[in-house]
Amino acid sequence: MDVSYLLDSLNDKQREAVAASRTNMLVLAGAGSGKTRVLVHRIAWLLSVENCSPYSIMAVTFTNKAAAEMRHRIGQLMGTTQGGMWVGTFHGLAHRLLRAHHLDANLPQDFQILDSEDQLRLLKRLIKAMNLDEKQWPPRQAMWYINSQKDEGLRPHHIQSYGNPVEQTWQKVYQAYQEACDRAGLVDFAELLLRAHELWLNKPHILQHYRERFTNILVDEFQDTNNIQYAWIRLLAGDTGKVMIVGDDDQSIYGWRGAQVENIQRFLNDFPGAETIRLEQNYRSTSNILSAANALIENNNGRLGKKLWTDGADGEPISLYCAFNDLDEARFVVNRIKNLAGERRCAGAMRHSLSQ
């Protein structure tokens, strides 16, 4: 069988990841290293070379856009749409699972999904009904508390308050909120994963069905997974599923919403013998940018280690500007963009509220 179309456009390390034997694998993928291409080609390899059924493949992404792009690119590579695969976000796949097994999950068939605004409105009503001062017990803080507990896999009765009255009050709010949701057949986003995890724990025959089906599991952006997401994947894989995770411990920026970069190391501990492949060739940045990035990031503690490189040009020297304040910084950036836009070579990325 001619599989050159799966490998010819890849570099050596990308080929190694795509054509690896069916084993547990960590692909440590640096920024701009072509990880999406590797995931797509790996799935095509499993289908074309390993003769895996599309029904055996689950691919997890972090956005609906990424999932749609992955499905599209797999279809392009294979020449036809591949039905039977589950490709989607953690929440989307958990939603699909709960729809299929709503009775076993103690949900009505027509359960509704709560978005964050719906959550906030419900919590405002509950806090008022509990005769709590909204200024002292803000609904938005209650929403953060409940979502955080669910991301840790915790129900109200799991939480240890240690006699702390503040913790006890938040527990009561969580309990009242969950009871209200259950009565109305409502499920928030955090509940999707927690309820799906509990479904598998409480109904071993359903878990076994999906373990036998999804023997090839691929997860993107693994550094952004939280505890319940990791537990969900770990439970599904069991002792026989083959898991390929793609992540970068240097790109973990969602710790504020529960992401655990340590999940990459947990994966290596929980799947002993897992192969590690490093994608270090960068296709996005110049050599000067990568040298500066490598020098900065190597000071981080607990890194698994990699060094990005490019065979491209050195590029312009990096310049620094020390702004007096936020407004000064914004003016500088805008003026710099205007100058570069005139030269038709401008791209801007902001990690600041001023970017809005």
Residue 92, marked binder: no
Residue 180, marked binder: no
From the centroid of its chain, how far is CA 69? 16
Contacts of 300 (CB under 8 A, 6+ apart): 250
Contacts of 346 (CB under 8 A, 6+ apart): 337, 340
Place of tokens 């900065």: 296
Residue 31, marked binder: yes
Cα–Cα distance for residue pair 6/280, rounded to 1 Å? 20
Determine how many CB atoms are found less than 10 A away from the CB of residue 305: 9
Tell which CATH classification among 3.40.980.10, 3.40.50.720, 2.40.50.140, 3.40.50.300 matches the domain 4-97+194-286.
3.40.50.300
What is the DSSP code string of 122-136?
HHHHHHHHTT--TTT
Q: Where are the domains of the chain?
A: 4-97+194-286, 112-184, 288-355
- Cβ distance 142 to 125 under 8 Å? no
Residues in the chain: 356
Residue 30, marked binder: yes
Does domain 288-355 correspond to CATH entry 3.40.50.300?
Answer: yes
- Cβ distance 238 to 274 under 8 Å? no
Number of H helices, E strands in the chain: 14, 8
| pLDDT of the residue at 55 | 97
Domains 4-97+194-286 and 288-355 belong to one CATH topology:
yes
Residue 29, marked binder: yes
What pTM was computed for the model? 0.90
114, β-bridge pairs: 188
Residue 285, marked binder: no
Determine how many CB atoms are found less than 10 A away from the CB of residue 118: 13
End-to-end CA distance of the chain: give it in Å, rounded: 52
Tell which CATH classification among 3.30.70.1070, 2.60.40.10, 3.30.420.40, 1.10.10.160 matches the domain 112-184.
1.10.10.160
| pLDDT of the residue at 350 | 52
- pLDDT tens profile 242-286: 999 999 988 887 787 787 889 999 999 999 899 999 999 999 999
| pLDDT of the residue at 354 | 47
Tokens of residue 169, six digits? 């009050």
- Give average pLDDT by consecutive 10-residue segment, the chain, 356 residues: 85 96 93 93 96 96 93 90 92 98 98 97 98 97 97 94 92 98 98 98 98 97 95 95 92 79 93 94 92 88 87 88 94 89 62 50
Determine how many CB atoms are found less than 10 A away from the CB of residue 190: 22
